[in-house]
A and B are shown apart, each in its own frame.
Chain A
Amino acid sequence: MPQEQTAQALESEELVPPAEAHAAHVSPKKVETQADLSAEMKGISDRYAEALKNGRGPETMPRLDYAPYRSSILRHPTKSLHHADPETIELYSPAFGHQDVHALESDLTIQHNGEPQGERIIVAGRVLDGDGRPVAGQLVEIWQANASGRYIHKRDQHPAPLDPNFTGVGRCITGDDGSYSFTTIKPGAYPWKNHLNAWRPAHIHFSMFGSEFTQRIVTQMYFPGDQLFPLDPIYQSIVDQDARDRLVAQYDHELTSPEWALGYKWDIILTGSKRTWTENEAYGDAGDEE
C-alpha cells in the first residue's frame, strides 16, 4: 500500500499556508490576482489564435515555457529539445504484470475499513498508440485529492478534511484491448498558491507506459464542464482548445453503474510507435548490420 512519503519537500508557492483557514481572504501586500493571470493567459491565447490564422499547425502538447504557471519559469529548458531517433532500449518498455499490481488496486474505495466520502465514480477507457493499436498489459497509475479537495500528502495544508477512508492512489494493468477501469471518488477542486485565489479544476493524475519508453506520459484527467478551466494556468498551458479537450473525460451513462457510481470515459492516445515506423523508413531498413 502506498506509504506516506516525507521526502518531497516542497517550495511554498504551491502550498496553502497552514493554520489560518481563511488566509486567502487576508488582504495581500502585493499579490498577483486572478485578473492579472487571466490577462496574461489571454495574451498568449490571442497570439496563438493569430498564429493559427496565419497557417501555423496546431500545438498538441503543453508548452514547457508557460510563464503563467509560475513554477515553470525556472524549470523549463530554454534550448530546443534535440531531435533524436529512438534507439535500442528506448524502443522497448519495461514489463509490468500481475506480480506488480493486484487487481484490487484499481478500486480506490475499498482500501480502508470504511467507505470514503463523496461521489463514487467509475473512470474507464483505453490506452491506444498513435496508430490506434491497443496498449495491452501495461501499467496505469493514478492519484488524486479526496472529495473535499485535499491530498493526503503531508505538505498539503489545504484546510479541508482528510478522509480516513481515502488514500487517493490506484493502479491497474491494461487489458488485451488496452482497457483500464478505476472505481474512485470524484475529487474536489484544490486551492494553490500560484496567485491569489488560484484553484485547480478537479483532476485525476494519470501515469502511463506504452510499448516503447518514448511513449511514457504523465498527465491529468479533468471532468466535463468545469468552470475553472479558463482560470487554470496548468490546463491553459495547452494553448490549443482541441488539445485541451483531449484531457477532459466524457460522462458516459453506459458506464454508469445503477444505484452505485457515475461513469466517466477517457481514452488516452500515446505518441506514435517508432519501432515499426523505423523499420518502414525508406532508409536504413534494420540498421547497418543485420
Chain B
Amino acid sequence: MTKLTPTPGQTVGPFYGYALPFNKDNELLAPGSPGSIRLQGTVYDGAGNTIPDAILEIWQPDSDGNIIQRTGSLVRDGYTFTGWGRGSVGNSGVYTFTTVNPGPTAPGAAAFISVAVFARGLMNRLFTRVYLPENEEALANDPLLSSLDPERRKTLIARRDADGGLTWDIRLQGGDETVFLDFQQDGSLETSVNADHPARENQA
C-alpha cells in the first residue's frame, strides 16, 4: 500500500494563548461533581525549571472504561463527559484537569490517560501516558510499562493524593525525563531526537 508522507509538525510557539484555550477546557466534568478528581502536575525543562508556556491535552475513557465518541468538548453542556480536555500551565508551570479516574478498557488492563504535550521550544508534540497507581498486577502486565526499566517506568505512573486526586509531573529532559512515545512503525519519522549539533560534536 502506498503511504503518503506525513506533514511535519512545528512548535506551538508562544502565542496560542488566545486561540487554543477555551472556557472550561480543563474541566472534563464540573469540579466537585460526583466521581470527579483532580489531575495536577508541573512541567519542567532540562534545567529543572518550570515551564510557564506549555499546554497539554488529555484523552481518556470514562470510569467504566468506555471510549466516548460524543461531541461537545469545546462547548461543554455541563453533563456530557467527552473524555477530552485541554489545559494550559500557569505561571508556575502547573496544569490542572478535573476529570474521572479512567476505567480499564479491558478486564485486567491497566487504566491510563493518553497525553499530548505542546510547548514553545518543543518542535513537535510529544505523546505520553499517565497510569493510575492502584492496580499493581495490571501495571506489571502492561505491555508498555513492562518494556521499560523500573526507573523510567515510574515516570508514567501518577501519585494518588490523600484527597483522591492524582499528581503527575512532566519532565521534558534530564535524568528523570518522562517517557515519551513513538507510535510510528517507521522509526525514521520520530527518532530525530538524537540529531547532531555543534555542542554535541564539541563534547565528542
User: Which residues of A are at the interface with B, using a C-beta cutoff of 8 A?
Assistant: 2-5, 7-11, 14-15, 40, 43-44, 47, 57-69, 71-90, 92-101, 128-132, 139, 141-143, 145, 151-153, 155-156, 167-169, 171, 205, 207, 213-214, 216-220, 234-235, 237-239, 242-244, 246-247, 268-272, 274, 277, 287, 289
**Proximity string of chain B (150-194) to chain A, C-beta cutoff 8 Å, 1 when within and 0 when not:** 001000000000000000000011100111111111011111111
B118 at the A interface (CB under 8 A)? yes
Taken together as a complex, chains A and B put the C-alpha atoms of A155 and B76 apart, in Å, by: 29
B9 at the A interface (CB under 8 A)? yes
Contact flag A5-B17 (CB < 8 Å), given A77-B193, A205-B12, A271-B6: yes
Docked-complex contact A100 and B71, CB < 8 angstroms: yes
Taken together as a complex, chains A and B put the C-alpha atoms of A134 and B88 apart, in Å, by: 30
Taken together as a complex, chains A and B put the C-alpha atoms of A254 and B16 apart, in Å, by: 31
Contact flag A234-B11 (CB < 8 Å), given A7-B91, A66-B195, A96-B71: yes
Taken together as a complex, chains A and B put the C-alpha atoms of A47 and B195 apart, in Å, by: 10
Smallest distance from the beta carbon of A236 to chain B beta carbons, Å? 11
Given A79-B152, A81-B190, A90-B127, 16 extra CB contacts under 8 A: A7-B90, A11-B53, A61-B6, A61-B8, A61-B189, A74-B45, A74-B172, A75-B51, A77-B172, A79-B179, A83-B181, A132-B2, A168-B19, A213-B127, A238-B10, A272-B3
Docked-complex contact B10 and A219, CB < 8 angstroms: yes
The answer, among B47, B61, B124, for a CB contact under 8 Å with A89, is B61
Complex A-B: 28 CB contacts under 8 Å: A5-B21, A8-B53, A10-B52, A14-B14, A40-B197, A40-B198, A62-B10, A64-B123, A69-B11, A74-B172, A75-B51, A77-B180, A79-B152, A80-B194, A82-B181, A95-B71, A95-B73, A98-B71, A128-B4, A131-B1, A167-B18, A207-B12, A213-B114, A214-B127, A217-B125, A271-B184, A272-B184, A277-B185
Chain B residues with CB under 8 Å of A62's CB are 8-11, 123-124, 192
Contact flag A84-B144 (CB < 8 Å), given A9-B52, A99-B72: yes
Taken together as a complex, chains A and B put the C-alpha atoms of A182 and B171 apart, in Å, by: 36
Chain B residues with CB under 8 Å of A216's CB are 57, 116, 125, 127
B78 at the A interface (CB under 8 A)? no
Taken together as a complex, chains A and B put the C-alpha atoms of A214 and B15 apart, in Å, by: 24
The answer, among A71, A90, A205, for a CB contact under 8 Å with B16, is A205
The answer, among A77, A96, A247, for a CB contact under 8 Å with B126, is A77
Which of B8, B88, B89, B125 has the largest count of A CB atoms less than 10 A from its CB? B8
A-B Cβ contacts below 8 A, count: 332
Give the number of residues in B that approach A within 8 Å (Cβ atoms): 99
Docked-complex contact B46 and A78, CB < 8 angstroms: yes
Taken together as a complex, chains A and B put the C-alpha atoms of A131 and B188 apart, in Å, by: 18
Docked-complex contact B18 and A82, CB < 8 angstroms: no
B97 at the A interface (CB under 8 A)? no
- Main secondary structure, interface of B, reads loop
The answer, among B83, B118, B143, B185, for a CB contact under 8 Å with A272, is B185
Docked-complex contact B7 and A94, CB < 8 angstroms: no
Contact flag A88-B61 (CB < 8 Å), given A40-B198, A64-B124: yes
B140 at the A interface (CB under 8 A)? no
Smallest distance from the beta carbon of A212 to chain B beta carbons, Å? 9
Docked-complex contact B121 and A169, CB < 8 angstroms: no
Residue of B nearest to A40 (CB): B198
B67 at the A interface (CB under 8 A)? yes
B199 at the A interface (CB under 8 A)? yes
Residue of B nearest to A289 (CB): B106
Docked-complex contact B188 and A60, CB < 8 angstroms: yes
Docked-complex contact A14 and B46, CB < 8 angstroms: no
B119 at the A interface (CB under 8 A)? yes
Docked-complex contact B114 and A5, CB < 8 angstroms: no
Smallest distance from the beta carbon of A128 to chain B beta carbons, Å? 7
The answer, among A72, A131, A152, for a CB contact under 8 Å with B4, is A131
Chain A residues with CB under 8 Å of B124's CB are 61-62, 64
